[in-house]
Structure 1
Amino acid sequence: MTLKTNKRIVWLGIAWFLVSIVLGIGAGKLTKDLGYQALHAEVSDRLLASIHRVRGALNSYHYLPFLLTQNEDVVELLQNSALSNNAAQATKVSRYLEQTSLVAGASGLFIVDKNGHTVAYSNWRDQQALRPDEFAQLPVFQFAAKGEEGRFYEHQSQQQAFYYLSAPIYDRSDFIGAAIVRIDLENLILDTPVEELYAISDDQGRIFIASPQDWLKYSLSDLADIRSITLGNGTHAELWTFNQQHYMSHQVRLDDLGWTFTSLVSARLDERYADLVAAITMAGLWILGVLLLFLRERHLKHLSQQETRLALLQANESLEQKVEERTQALRNAQQELVQTSKMAALGRMSTAIAHELNQPLTAMRTYIAISKQLLSDPAMVKENLSTLDDLTERMAIITSQLKTFAYKKPENVQPVQLVTAINQSFTLLRTRLTEENVTLECDRVSDSHYVLGDNVRLEQVLVNLINNACDALHQQTDKRILIQSECVSDDKIQLSVEDNGPGFNDEQLEHLFEPFYTTKSMGNGLGLGLAIVAAIIRDLNGSIQAQRNVHGGATFLILLPSAQHSQ
């Protein structure tokens, strides 16, 4: 009887063990499937966020071609593009394109004539050869030649991927050229959250935008092993495997761009959680079996009750410790999941805000440009102003202040002689000063004054300030500009640029260095010159201020670090 009972107990134990394994595996698979369903929803949200982020970034450039077509210098250059003495006008337009590109963040701005020959471009300082007919055969120019807005994607093998925008330029009703904007797609999105994984590829599978960046050297088909799975809710999903880890993937192709967006979310935490659930299920069932056995043995074996109880208590404590350890691991895994969800929500919120701001900004620029052209029609201007008021109210709700101006800080500074920088600026502006009878005096600048900076940027500061002074002196009969320098302390040198023009009022002084603020008429400037000057001076560890002088004109005072003090 005892032998039969022992055999029965053994078989019951084996059966219970097998059932525990089956139920544990089933619980783990169910938990994993639920986790995959949640990941699929999350990766879908991330895919939508990445699409909005890229579209928002591209939309932020759509105003640029139209903006360039409205510049009078651009139109004048294209009207006289066949003249041999048009080099000065081409240089002037190229400088304008350079300044606009610095603020807008575009890879390149180009003006081409009606034959597709490039006549001015923003990267003129790079000393790189540019084929004059580079855009002649590209669709982005051909669209513009037909009077349409052009959009074109180009990605040659082993080369950078670019996206082009274009707009036609007319002289009355005659097509005279096109404005083309080039966008470097590899650097289009720089503020992606570190934990977010996504790739954007073309129809050949070449990846040109990705996070992380090292995916750019792969094609989409070589990036990972892909396996299709069907989830418990009937959803078909793709599971990617690379670096010995699983990732839930979601893809969509945008027909208007011809690009495929792929988003990935790591399944590591969900799989670990499912394994933990399976282990806890099996352990729980094993504990239950042991307890049942303990109760049965207690009923049958009264004499060995104390010894059996001690053994079972020890086994129970050991199992409880393991359960506690695994439960703590489960809590940690849950906390990681919560944190990941918070970061994903924060990324989606940031993307939504950026998208909401880009749309009204783009619309405002368009309506402002249209309103300038419709000043003769008060009814349409009033309608546009009403629309602008709605857009600004919408932006005010999103944020109370938005500043989007940046300039690349020089990596290295070196001693720069002020006299040399002034002479170089005078050489660049000699023609204008002569034609407009402007007297430039700089005899109060000492040859011994050296500042820490960058010669090209300091030259750009002086060119902008002198150009602004010439613009201010347009209505004056006796036109004078005075440049002088002095050591104001052991480590600072002050450079002043003074004119005898009409000067500034209080409101102009308050907003003078803000981007896109200008007192000039339409087509004569974007209001970026002084903003760029302020950014350059700030990056050179200096400061600039404007004030009215005793002659009623404007004076700009620039403080820069002295090179002699640094030595």
Structure 2
Amino acid sequence: METAHVTRRLLILFALAAGLAAVCTLTWTLAWRSGIETLRRDAAVRGDRTTASLKSTLERYESLPYIVGEHPLVQDVLVNQKDEWVDAANRYLERVNRYARATTTYIIRADGLCIAASNWRDPDSFIGASYRFRPYFIDAVNGGVGRFFGIGTISHDPGYYVSQPVRRDGKIVGVAVVKLNLEWFPGADATEPLLVTDDHGVIFLSSVPAWKYHTVRPLPADVAQSIVQTQQYARQILSPLPARIERVLGDDAEIVRIGTGIGAPRYIQTRRALGVPDWDLVTMSPVRPVVNATRTATIMTGFGFALLCLLIFYWRQRRQRVKEVMKSRAMLQKAYAMLNERVAERTADLSQANVQLQREVQERARAEADLRAAQDELIQASKLAALGQMAAGITHELNQPLAALRSFSDNTRVFLERGQYMAAHENLEAIGSLTERMGKIVNQLKLFVGRARPRSLRSPVAPALRNALALLGTRLTGVDLTLALTDHTVDAMPAPFDLRGEYAELVAQIDGLRLEQVLINLVGNALDAVADTASPRIAIDIEVLAATLAISVRDNGPGIPDDVMPRIFEPFFTTKEMGQGLGLGLAISSSIARDCGGSLVAHNEPDGGARFVLTLRRAQVSTARVAAADV
């Protein structure tokens, strides 16, 4: 009997130990997987965000060498290297470099000799240096676009070089080059290691200085010889980074250990390809926090399991004691059996009612907490959406005036040098008009103070439409543009719409600058759609109802593909080529329409082409019609 009792206790202890081991193992596995997945997801988001930021920085300067090469002064000095032209070219490159905030801008003759540079005043000026061995010069002089990262042969400072061929009368006479300093980029986020590798696997940007100018894989002999010949990394010794892969998590993520020995740190390595140039951005997320969190969760689970076992043992002992006490009171309970039965029934009813009441209170409290959380998330999401749309709109609308300012300023300088003062005066007036428009666009930032303000604004439709068409005037050449109006309030048939006529005072509840911004986007998209059409036509129809105004823009282009239609109003979605658009115009226009209580929809016409309909609330005026006035 005693032996059986001891054996039973040993079996219970063994079962408890096995259960503890199983619970701890399961907790470790689940916590490790969850932590690694979270770390991998965060690393992927960080990699995507950083890749987009780096690509945006590089693309901003992609067209600068081409703009420099198109300047007549640059072409003249490459053809005929006169002293006065060289001096003027140096000063021009210095101004361009200062305004563009690049590191250095310079031009190279077709034989590889630098003849003018923005750093012509510095002791380590590039003027007189030969760059015929540099890959970016070779690519540009052969008619392509050169992209190259390397250490400067004169300044000995690393940088990213973008080059474009300079043509004169169809012949390449030289190369324009812009150098950018990217040393700031990896240091923007020092909490986790970040590095950028070139197409050979050489780390040239890194937030960890010790990893810089190492390779993520051994270099072939021919690649190493090519790097030496082009002096890409000067005299740096390109040794492999001491890293080994411990586990592959997917196509773009793996766990690696950097260094030697058991104590070497481990990271989740995530790669993102930039495309152009052929670089890879690698994020390194330390695994140690996941290990620490997993260990803590396992320890807490073990203590919880032990505590649960103790509570079960205590409950069992107490239950045994209660049984003994109840047995000793059996005689007394028989005497009060009926009374106890009634009390038990009443107690059960009260307990059930109390449990039901507590359940209802808990459900109500949970519902109120969920509602408050949902309201807080909705408010935060609305603020972030408004801020993102406002920033995207301001950036999108300032790009075109800034490009026009650059063109007008360059042309004005040329006109002044040639003595064409009338043309220069006209350009200066145009610059003044553009700066006034940019000021109006920037003033939209005040709208962010109060979300309800745009709904109370009133703007005539005719002046906004006239300003939009005037801004797009040069692009409307050769396009059959028609304007028509249908007023359902007076049973009028469709008729030509005169911007200064009887309906010139149609007023909508929207800010005038925002209405002009939407019209520019809609008409501009229609112009893009009919660019390759033999007989381009655009029709602008205004339908007047008692409470709304519907402005539609139709074109005879190819229409909107079925797979594009569901995503046409999504931010950053565009079917245009790289550099032709950011995919923000229609998204911003749709947002403006919603903010003003209206809508913007698109569909294809049965006979071909597309139609965009902007519906706005009509502002009530004192009289049904306003006499014709010059607006």
Name the SS for the 1:115 alignment partner: coil
Q: Which residue of 1 aligns with 2:267?
A: 247
Deviation at 1:245, TM superposition (A): 3.7
Matched positions, count:
341
* Pair 1:50-2:50 in alignment: yes
> Matched residues in 2 for 1:283 and 1:128: separation?
68
* Pair 1:227-2:227 in alignment: no
Q: In the alignment, residue 177 of structure 1 is paired with which amino acid?
A: G
Contact 2:161–2:178 (8 Å) recurs in 1:
yes
Q: How does 1:108-507 map to 2 (within 5 A)?
A: 108-128=104-124, 130=126, 132=128, 134-154=130-150, 161-187=158-184, 189=185, 192-220=188-216, 222-223=240-241, 225-229=243-247, 237-242=253-258, 244-298=264-318
Deviation at 1:122, TM superposition (A): 1.8
Q: Which residue of 2 aligns with 1:462?
A: none
> Matched residues in 2 for 1:5 and 1:236: separation?
58
Q: In the alignment, residue 303 of structure 2 is paired with which amino acid?
A: A
Structure 1 residues 58 and 175: alpha-carbon distance in aligned structure 2, compared to 1, 3 A threshold: same
> Matched residues in 2 for 1:69 and 1:129: separation?
20
> Matched residues in 2 for 1:352 and 1:238: separation?
36
Name the SS for the 1:185 alignment partner: coil
> Matched residues in 2 for 1:22 and 1:52: separation?
45
Deviation at 1:96, TM superposition (A): 3.1
Contact 1:229–1:236 (8 Å) recurs in 2:
no
Q: In the alignment, residue 64 of structure 2 is paired with which amino acid?
A: L
Instruction: Specify the structure having the higher radius of gyration (Cα).
Output: 2
Which string of whole-angstrom CA distances, capped at 9 and with x for unpartnered residues, describes residues 508-542 of structure 1?
xxxxxxxxxxxxxxxxxxxxxxxxxxxxxxxxxxx
Which string of whole-angstrom CA distances, capped at 9 and with x for unpartnered residues, describes residues 301-360 of structure 1?
89x99xxxxxxxxxxxxxxxxxxxxxxxxxxxxxxxxxxxxxxxxx9x999999998777
Deviation at 1:255, TM superposition (A): 4.5
> Matched residues in 2 for 1:372 and 1:131: separation?
26
Deviation at 1:8, TM superposition (A): 1.8
Deviation at 1:33, TM superposition (A): 0.1
Q: How does 1:469-548 map to 2 (within 5 A)?
A: none
Deviation at 1:273, TM superposition (A): 2.2
> Matched residues in 1 for 2:387 and 2:130: separation?
38
Structure 1 residues 237 and 181: alpha-carbon distance in aligned structure 2, compared to 1, 3 A threshold: closer
Deviation at 1:183, TM superposition (A): 2.0
Name the SS for the 1:125 alignment partner: coil
Deviation at 1:112, TM superposition (A): 1.7
Contact 1:145–1:177 (8 Å) recurs in 2:
yes
Which string of whole-angstrom CA distances, capped at 9 and with x for unpartnered residues, describes residues 174-232 of structure 1?
43322111223334x2772332431101233321112244432543355464435366x
> Matched residues in 1 for 2:391 and 2:277: separation?
21
Contact 1:66–1:167 (8 Å) recurs in 2:
yes
Q: In the alignment, residue 29 of structure 1 is paired with which amino acid?
A: T
Q: What value does the CA root-mean-square deviation take over the aligned residues?
A: 4.6
Deviation at 1:371, TM superposition (A): 8.3
> Matched residues in 2 for 1:197 and 1:394: separation?
43
Q: In the alignment, residue 35 of structure 1 is paired with which amino acid?
A: G
Which string of whole-angstrom CA distances, capped at 9 and with x for unpartnered residues, describes residues 18-53 of structure 1?
221221121121111012112211111111111111
Unmatched 5+ stretches in structure 2: 218-239, 326-383, 413-430, 448-631
Q: Which residue of 2 aligns with 1:494?
A: none
Name the SS for the 1:136 alignment partner: coil
Which string of whole-angstrom CA distances, capped at 9 and with x for unpartnered residues, describes residues 126-177 of structure 1?
32375746233434334433444433344699x7543222233344444332
> Matched residues in 1 for 2:294 and 2:75: separation?
66
TM-score (norm 1): 0.50
Contact 1:229–1:237 (8 Å) recurs in 2:
no
> Matched residues in 1 for 2:444 and 2:208: separation?
30
Structure 1 residues 357 and 263: alpha-carbon distance in aligned structure 2, compared to 1, 3 A threshold: farther
Deviation at 1:115, TM superposition (A): 2.6
> Matched residues in 2 for 1:129 and 1:90: separation?
14
Deviation at 1:250, TM superposition (A): 0.9
Contact 1:59–1:362 (8 Å) recurs in 2:
no
TM-score (norm 2): 0.45
| Percent of residue pairs bearing the same amino acid type | 21
Structure 1 residues 115 and 206: alpha-carbon distance in aligned structure 2, compared to 1, 3 A threshold: same
Q: Which has the higher contact order (CA 8 A, sep 6+)?
A: 1
Unmatched 5+ stretches in structure 1: 306-346, 376-384, 402-567
Contact 2:273–2:281 (8 Å) recurs in 1:
yes
Structure 1 residues 67 and 256: alpha-carbon distance in aligned structure 2, compared to 1, 3 A threshold: closer
* Pair 1:106-2:136 in alignment: no
Q: In the alignment, residue 247 of structure 2 is paired with which amino acid?
A: I
Contact 2:115–2:127 (8 Å) recurs in 1:
no
Structure 1 residues 225 and 23: alpha-carbon distance in aligned structure 2, compared to 1, 3 A threshold: farther
